[in-house]
Structures are given as C-alpha cells and as structure tokens.
Structure 1
Amino acid sequence: MAPSDESAQKSRPIRGSELLPPAEVSTLQAPSRAVRARSAPRDELLSIIEVCEELGIARATFYRWRAHRKGPASLRLPNGTVRIRRSALTAFIAACEDTTR
C-alpha cells in the first residue's frame, strides 16, 4: 500500500519559513550581496605596493614614514599583512597638499 500525501508531509520536518505567510517570509530574508554593497560602500583596503605605486615612492620610503608615523594611517591584519584604507590615503594626500601651500 502506497503512503498518502498526508503521511509523507507529516514525516517531513517543518521549516520555520513554512509557518509564516509568503509575504512575511520575504521580509525576513537577508538582502542580497549586491544590495548591501550599494547601500553601505566599503572603504577599500590597499596594499603597501598599491600605495607606493599611487604615491610614486619606494617601499623603503613608506616603511620609513610608517616608523616615524609620518605616512598614512595603516592597520595590521590578523594574518600579519599591512593595509591602508583608501580614506586614510586620501586624507594623507590632502594633509600634504595643505602643508605645501
């Protein structure tokens, strides 16, 4: 004897989204990655090489500035790499322009 549709549904676990009407389920779902990227722009993290290329300086110059706390603010990631936020580099360049005038 084949099981009826009712018994097949009873043996299946109920998901949380099945308890709510479809209109309410859609409001509970997280926004897609593309929507989040547009709504909250991220501050790009640049590598030391990218910063040096943009400023036209040698890596040794960047490390010297960093040691003397003269360069753009940087951060060390848990894996040990150093990154510079795009906003910190922009602020550094703006501060350099202000001091040369």
Structure 2
Amino acid sequence: MLFLVRMEVDWPKDMDPEAGRALVEAERTYSQRLQRYGKWRHLWRIAGVFGNVSVFDVDSHDELHEILSNLPFFPYLNIEITPLARHPSRIDAPPAAPP
C-alpha cells in the first residue's frame, strides 16, 4: 500500500538546542533505516517549509501508523496522509483490460 504523507514540523520555540540536535539525529537515523528497508520510498523537502512530502510503501494502515507514531519528531508534526493507487497511464503499468 502506497501513501503520500506530508509532514510539517511545529517546533517549540523554547526547545533546548541540545535536545533539538539530539532529536534531529534520532529522526535522521530512524528515517534512513526505513529508507534502506524500502518502507520510506521517497523523501522530498518542501522548499521554504520545515517539512517534507514522502511516499511510504507499507503492508497496512496500522503499519503506517506505527512508523509515523515512532518518529522522534512525532509530537511536533502536523501530518496529512493520502492513499495512492497506480495510474493506468504509467509506462510501467500492466496493460489494462479492454472495456
């Protein structure tokens, strides 16, 4: 199951700088592990925003929820999730059955 996930960080203005650096490193480590395992398929920064758009490839809604809720940034994230389906005009899509 593919999901487009938009995440924007609502960082506390009074966040301790050292705690912030530790969170950033933990987030990087966690997200890179998910990318290596193929769960976090795409990760794109949104220009001018402390956030990203990502594509996740998971087996269930529950797996996506678990992945997102375990993000170190999770308490500070505003998240929008859109389920994705293959488009029939993709060049790598199998031919559609005739109508």
Normalised by the shorter chain, which TM-score bucket?
A: under 0.3
| Higher helix fraction (1 or 2) | 1
Larger Rg: 1
TM-score between the two structures when normalised by the length of structure 2: 0.25
| Higher strand fraction (1 or 2) | 2
Q: Which has the higher contact order (CA 8 A, sep 6+)?
A: 2
TM-score between the two structures when normalised by the length of structure 1: 0.25
